[in-house]
Chains A and B, each alone.
Chain A
Amino acid sequence: MNENNPTPPAPRRGAPLWVQILVFAALLGLLVLVGLGLARAQQPIIAVGAAVPDFTLTLFDGYAYNGAGEVSLTDLRGQVVVINFWASWCKPCEEEAADLEAAWRHYAAQAPGRVIFLGIDYVDTEPQARSYLAKFEISFPNGPDMGTRISQAFNRTMGVPETYIIDQNGILVHVQIGPFLSVAEIQRIIDPLLGR
């Protein structure tokens, strides 16, 4: 019905400036938000060669590091750190559990104080986790990932088992998605870091 209304050449004017600014700010905010979300989705894992963010792991009862019930990554500077994410419900984790323990015992004997293994228990229930640790006689420090905070800092889409190997300066040098298949495979990564 407005076809008889004359359409421009009338002066073209925009919406009020404050509305424009407000709307564009909101849009920009949304795009930044989604963009950052996208960046995290595209790159869910911390990169090899980057410094690993610090965390504190509270250990299960019966485990200790230097006599304390918790351990921070910064305390471990100067050592090679092997961080293994696992869960009792995870079948592939069982495949590598014995190898990890063997590797840990190997370095504890051969290079004491130079390599530390940490087990981080991901989305698990404590009773099952304890029987898993007992079953595979895991002796290196282990603790639950409280609030899934640690796993989120490493990999947003964590799928156990995953293992992260960090050098003496706190730099990530190796990411293993899925289980190790042998002790030798673990040694091939750690030995060069010890200068052997």
Chain B
Amino acid sequence: MDKKRLRISIFVLLFLGLSFLFSAVQVPPALAQEATPSDDEVNAIARQLYCPVCENTPLDVCPTEACRQWRDLIRQMLAEGRTEDEIKQYFVDNYGARVLAEPPRSGFFWLVYIVPPAAILAAAFFFIRAFRTWKQMAREPAGGSAASDGEASQTRDDYAARLEAELEKRK
């Protein structure tokens, strides 16, 4: 009973850990304050944004006029001394969550981050459980068919087996 609870709590911990991994917040690089921000400073932010006019293309390499304006706006906001987070928030407020490279970690969008680790852990859980059953079966051999299976595979893989045997002999 206790063992089971332990296992469950390990799973929960693992799950939380994985979820965290999936949603780890990136630390923004410190920005140098200058009079006119350089292209590199603009691109550092633009790279993380996606303009609705060219979907799935990061803003720093999007050739449309709309995106050029966005980059100018980023430059202007940087010059005003706004931080990276403030700028990104401005774009989210104005154009929606789709401008971010991944959805914000809030409300409904948590689903995006929770489902994959949950599904993978569920698969791992079934894998481990199934594995235990199989091991049990191996401990209490069911009958002849399994043994013949093993032999069949042996003959099929005879070359490899011989190789292994030769290797053993050599030692």
The residues of A with any CB-CB pair to B shorter than 8 Å are 1, 5, 87-90, 123-128, 144, 146-149
Contacts and interface: CB of A to CB of B under 8 A. Distances in A.
Contacts of B65: 89-90
A146 B93 contact: yes
Given A1-B149, A123-B66, A124-B69, 15 more contacts: A1-B152, A1-B156, A5-B145, A88-B69, A89-B64, A89-B65, A89-B66, A89-B68, A123-B53, A124-B66, A125-B69, A125-B72, A126-B73, A144-B94, A147-B95
A1 B153 contact: yes
B70 interface: yes
Given A89-B64, A123-B52, A123-B53, A147 B73 contact: no
A146 B152 contact: no
Interface of B: 51-53, 64-66, 68-70, 72-73, 76, 93-98, 145, 149, 152-153, 156
A128 B53 CA distance: 16
17 contacts: A1-B156, A87-B66, A88-B69, A89-B65, A90-B65, A123-B51, A123-B52, A123-B95, A125-B69, A125-B73, A128-B69, A146-B94, A147-B94, A147-B95, A147-B97, A148-B52, A148-B98
The 7 A-B residue pairs with the shortest CB-CB distance in the complex, in nearest-first order: A147-B96, A1-B152, A89-B65, A125-B73, A89-B66, A125-B69, A148-B96
